[in-house]
Structure 1
Amino acid sequence: MTTWRATQKANRRAELMTSAARLFAERGFAAVSTGDLGDAVGMSGPALYRHFASKEALLCDLLVDASERLLEGGRGLTSSGGGPREVFDALIAFHLDFATSDANVIRVQDRELANLPADVNQRVRRLQREYVREWDRPLAALRPDLDDAERETRLLAAFGLLNSTPHSAAPSGERAGGILAGMARRALLDD
């Protein structure tokens, strides 16, 4: 059973991660101080250290968490028992939803991934490769004519399209997301 205190600590940690994603996306990691992070959630900057070992640890947790959530969601969809097309459409919708609901995390990952410590960078990239493999299975079933290299190229291009949603969806909102999802689908399946 989770205690009230543990729940409050988990909630504060999640609040810090959400605020950090917003601030890092707006200003860049280096331009955000621990004081800025504390102010964003109504606590002192040094109180951050009750939840994270450092500002860098917060960034690491933010990006590892995002990659783990994507992989978990992708695995859930690919193991759902649906047909390849149904699974593929669900993966596109899932990723698009992630990119729009966690737009700040996408921006931070675009900008800060290379600045993570080597071990964390490798972990995030490993999780990303596993996520790509979840997409590759239904794509291979739908397009058996494509070799591994072409499927990977198409998948990475589709992720680029879907991940551009936070940068392109503001002027036209959901419409831009729908356009990008259609473009990703066509890039992957030629339909």
Structure 2
Amino acid sequence: MEFEAKKERSDFIKDCKKLLKVALNEIMVQSKENRWADYEDGFPTKIDFVGASSSGDSIYIIEAKHGGSSSDKLYYSPIQVASYAIAWSKAIKIKGFLGTVNELIRSKKQASLIPDYCKEIVPNPTITPVLLLPVDKMSKEVKKRLHIVLDVCNKHLPNGVSKIVVWDCESTESCQTVT
């Protein structure tokens, strides 16, 4: 049984990587032509935040980078959040997955950790990938590379996943949507 679980996990990750492979190939061509830092290939496994709309029709996959992040971590960050969004778009189709998520929502409501008006996640919600980045503090070159990677990733996201949203968010006081 343990082997089956490992194989299922491995197959799931392979399927997710396959969906992003075309985008990655396109980005790597840009990277080599323009002498960008090498992208550390691998499937990211530590999502920063997951949120849901109060209506339950959207799931937000959120990756945060702070001002101390290296330039390449900033401009390659769309790949990371796209990977998570693709994984979630596949996971919500697995029998029982949304039930488990909705059970968590009900538990949080009972504990008064989220408001009662928040709805459970509907079948086939929109997956919205969000990047929290210190855009205001990024150099023009890093912003240029970020937009190239964003455009490529957005072009290859599957149905049910909206375009990656970027919020300029260096302080905890306010965030501003920039894409």
With the length of structure 1 as denominator, give the TM-score of the two structures.
Answer: 0.28
Higher relative contact order (CA 8 A, sep 6+): 2
Larger radius of gyration: 1
With the length of structure 2 as denominator, give the TM-score of the two structures.
Answer: 0.29
Structure ranking higher in strand proportion: 2
